[in-house]
Amino acid sequence: MAVALPKNFSEVRQHLQQPLIRNSFFIMASSFVAAGFGFFFWMIAARFYSQADVGIATALMSSMGLLILISRLGLDQSVIRFFPTRDKNRVIGTAVLVPTAVALGAGLFFIATVDVLAPELAIVRTIAPLYLVILGAYSITWVFEGAFNALRKSEHYFALNLLYGTRILFLVPLVFLGAVGIFGAFGLSFILGLVLALVLLARCSVRPTPCVDRVFLREAWQFSAGAYVAGILMSAPNMLIPIMVLNVLGAESTANYYITYAIVSILFMIPYAFTTSLFVEGSHGGEMKRSVLRTLASMFLLLVPAIIGLSLFGEQILNLIGKDYVEGMALLRVLAASALFVSICQTFISIAKVRNDIRSLVVLSGFISVALLGLGYAMMNRFGLIGMGYAWLATYVAGTLLVGLILKKKGWL
Note whether 64 and 135 are within 8 A (CB). Answer: yes
Q: Domain for residue 327, yes or no?
A: yes
Q: Domain for residue 47, yes or no?
A: yes
Q: How many structural domains is the chain composed of?
A: 1
Q: What is the pLDDT of residues 137-182, one digit of tens each?
A: 999 988 888 788 777 777 888 888 889 989 999 999 999 999 999 9
- Proportion of the chain above pLDDT 90, given as a percent: 29
Domain of residue 301: give its range. Answer: 19-410
Note whether 234 and 77 are within 8 A (CB). Answer: no
Q: Domain for residue 93, yes or no?
A: yes
Question: How much is the average pLDDT of 274-292?
Answer: 72
Which residues, 6+ apart, have CB-to-CB distance to 208 below 8 Å? 89, 92, 93, 96, 201
Which residues, 6+ apart, have CB-to-CB distance to 311 below 8 Å? 332, 333, 336, 337
d(CA 226, CA 221): 9
What pLDDT score does 2 carry? 44
Give just the sign of the alpha carbon dihedral 255, 136, 281, 7.
negative
Note whether 358 and 299 are within 8 A (CB). Answer: no
Residue 128's closest CA among 183, 58, 76, 49? 183
Q: Domain for residue 10, yes or no?
A: no
Range of weakest confidence among 22-31, 100-109, 226-235, 284-293 = 284-293
Band of the pLDDT at 4, cuts 50, 70, 90?
A: very low
What pLDDT score does 327 carry? 79
Residue 92's closest CA among 135, 33, 153, 31? 153
- DSSP assignment of 193-242, as one string? HHHHHHHHHHHTT----SS--HHHHHHHHHHHHHHHHHHHHHHHHHHHHH
Rg for the chain, CA atoms, rounded: 21
d(CA 413, CA 153): 32
Q: Domain for residue 6, yes or no?
A: no
Question: How much is the average pLDDT of 258-267?
Answer: 86
d(CA 201, CA 151): 10
Q: Domain for residue 12, yes or no?
A: no
Range of weakest confidence among 8-12, 100-104, 208-212, 368-372 = 8-12
Q: Domain for residue 8, yes or no?
A: no
d(CA 279, CA 203): 24
- With left for phi above 0 and alpha for psi between -120 and 50, is residue 250 left, alpha or beta? left
What pLDDT score does 225 carry? 75
Q: What is the pLDDT of residues 114-144, one digit of tens each?
A: 888 888 888 899 999 999 999 999 999 888 8
Distance of CA 174 to the CA centre of its chain: 26
Q: Domain for residue 3, yes or no?
A: no
Which residues, 6+ apart, have CB-to-CB distance to 345 below 8 Å? 364, 368, 396, 399, 400, 403
Instruction: Give the CA angle between residues 164, 170, 173 to the nearest 5°.
Output: 180
Q: What is the pLDDT of residues 23-32, one digit of tens each?
A: 777 777 777 7
What pLDDT score does 378 carry? 94
pTM, entire model: 0.67
Q: Is the pLDDT of residue 257 over 80?
A: yes
